Structure 1
Amino acid sequence: MTRVLFIGQTPETVDFSDPALPPGFDAEKIRAGIAIGMSKLRERGWQADECMISPDDAGRATLEKQLASTNYDCVVIGGGMRLPPKGLVMFEIVVNLVHKAAPGAAIAFNTRPEDTAEAAARWVRG
């Protein structure tokens, strides 16, 4: 069975005042979008895991633990991890952790939480 991991920033830790973020975003809207994205992954018959992390060492540890728990065919890194410029270092940490801990997994990027399945589908078949 195809196994996909979605990595995103815990919505409650997002600085919604950052002008780099789309206006009108809030934690509730992000969580709703993630739920849709995860549902679409499962509709494809894939095992879908979600790993929401804080932008700090605790988030890094959470991701390391998740990546060590199983082998993934694809890891989708959410837009909230890479869009705000002040989050660049955390984004680099995430990409490097995935590269090291899941070397056989494709890495994909969504444009919004709802298109996570489409991002994964570019790299996995099944």
Structure 2
Amino acid sequence: MARRVLAIGIEPGNADDSGSPQLAPDLVRGHIEAQLLRLRGLGYEVTSCLIDFDVTAEAAVTAALRDERFDCIVIGAGLREPKERLLLFEKVLNLVHRLAPQAAICFNTTPADTAEAVQRWVAP
């Protein structure tokens, strides 16, 4: 049976890319999709959970975690930086801890290294 991965990140259209043109929404979305395809090609079953910055974020993460059991949860770098997102990051991390205690938790450093983050903790 394939290992199940939940990828949680910020919806690229909601991220502020004004200071980083290399993080334009279409480019980030392309990196995310490429990584999801790469993980699937490596034998993982992957579910994407892209969230906003408002109260719907917690509901979306909760729904994803309650719908399925995951072996690994990868939390995107966009949730950890900038520091103004700390509270949202803590909420997501605590939801994962509470609703998926059996899952490994990992972090990518960019939208382009998600597969490596997952592979550090869970073999396909």
Task: Give the TM-score, by structure 1 length.
Answer: 0.92
Note if contact 1:5-1:51 (Cα within 8 Å) is conserved in structure 2. yes
In structure 2, runs of 5+ residues without a counterpart are: none
Which whole-Å deviations, capped at 9, do the CAs of 1:42-62 have from their partners, x for residues lacking one? 011110110000012111101
- Counterparts in 2 of 1:15-94, with a 5 A limit? 15-17=16-18, 19=19, 22-94=20-92
2:121 aligns to what?
123
1:9 aligns to what?
10
C-alpha RMSD of the superposition: 1.1
Which whole-Å deviations, capped at 9, do the CAs of 1:50-79 have from their partners, x for residues lacking one? 000001211110110001011100000001
For 1:37 and 1:114, locate their aligned partners in 2 and report how far apart those are by CA, in whole Å: 6
Question: Aligned with 1:4: secondary structure?
Answer: strand
Aligned residues, how many? 123
Q: CA offset at residue 16 of structure 1?
A: 2.1
Which whole-Å deviations, capped at 9, do the CAs of 1:6-29 have from their partners, x for residues lacking one? 000111111223x5xx44311111
In structure 1, runs of 5+ residues without a counterpart are: none
1:96 pairs with 2:94: yes
Task: Give the TM-score, by structure 2 length.
Answer: 0.94
Note if contact 1:53-1:59 (Cα within 8 Å) is conserved in structure 2. yes
1:106 aligns to what?
104
Please list every run of at least 4 consecutive aligned residues from structure 1 whose deviation after the TM superposition is greater than 3 angstroms.
none
